[in-house]
Amino acid sequence: MIIDTRANLATAKTTFRALFIQTLASVITLHQDLAMVITDPAESLDLGFIGQMPSVRKWIGNRVINNLVKKGLTVAPDPFELTIGVKVSELETDRLGLIRPRIQDMTSEMAKHPERLFIDLLAKGFENLCWDGQYFFDTDHPVEVNGTVQSVSNMSTAEFSAEALAAALSEMSSLVRDGDGEPLEIGATDLVVPPQLYDAALRAVNADIIEGTTNVRKGVVKVHVAKRLAKYPTRWFLLDCSREIRGIVVQVAKTPVFVAMDAPEDEARFMQSECRYGVDAKYGAGYGLWQLAWGSTGAGES
């Protein structure tokens, strides 16, 4: 039987591209719900707006302009790629069923990469600086209240427990605004934990009774397990995702695109009888408002 190689290759590319689009649309990631996602092609995204949480004020005299904070950080997105090689013989014999899972996995991996950037920033917030010059999770963020600078904390070393969760929720909701000291009206909406703490977190949030006492905090936050946090088995985090601005910013500078290297004149096709299919994108991530995030190392230190 004569094999129409050109027709099979064209069919394969069309099939793979459609599969890429379908898979990309089906991937669900944590950063989509928990991070502030900005789609912007800028090579350097200025986060100068981070650092203020302006509020409504009575209009007396001139308007008060809430300018950008000049010391805000920037996000510099990086290019990412993932490529697979497929032998022409597999395409000639129409063995697409063996290749489809590889295309799906490749697409899924690229779509999930911003989540990895988000989780890594969250996990390393005890060591990385944010816009105010302090660690993102720190005990001494400077906040000026009526002319006096105070040290404010958004971190702990407490091991995860229902009691520690209640304390963290109370501490986070007691934060005040820089300047006049008015309540920020922050309340955690989401709890992020590693796999090792998932069961404990579910019990703390969903149980009716904890150690013989009514769980008054039942359902107060939504629990998310981040598998990438497995290497940080004691760390846990609270986030306020009720606002458009979030604690972590993810920039999508270039959405994933499907590319193919399968023309007869391509070197890989000529020298190795191989077609190559890939996905590339451009992502960046940075810290937003520390007030909207709270973290514990879980080390149990005093």
Question: pLDDT, tens digit, for every residue of 219-229?
Answer: 999 999 999 99
**pLDDT (0 to 100) of residue 2:** 38
Residues 231-254: what's their mean pLDDT? 95
* pLDDT value of residue 189: 98
Q: Please state, in angstroms and as integers, the Cα–Cα distance from residue 4 to each residue in 9, 29, 89, following that order.
A: 9, 41, 12
Q: Which backbone phi and psi does 123 adopt, to 5 degrees? A: -65, -35
Instruction: Work out the average pLDDT over 5-23.
Output: 84
| Per-residue confidence (pLDDT) for residue 178, from 0 to 100 | 80
Q: All domains of the chain, ordered by start, with CATH?
A: 5-50+73-296 (3.90.1690)
Q: Is the model's pLDDT at 42 over the cut of 70? A: yes
Between 230 and 76, where is the model more confident?
A: 230
Q: How many angstroms separate the CA atoms of 239 and 241, rounded?
A: 6
pLDDT grade for 65, boundaries at 50, 70 and 90: very low
Q: Is a pLDDT exceeding 90 seen at residue 97?
A: no
Is residue 160 pLDDT above 80, yes or no?
yes
Instruction: Report pLDDT for 58.
Output: 62
Residue 206 has pLDDT above 50, yes or no: yes
Question: 235 vs 91, which has greater pLDDT?
Answer: 235
The whole-model pTM stands at 0.88
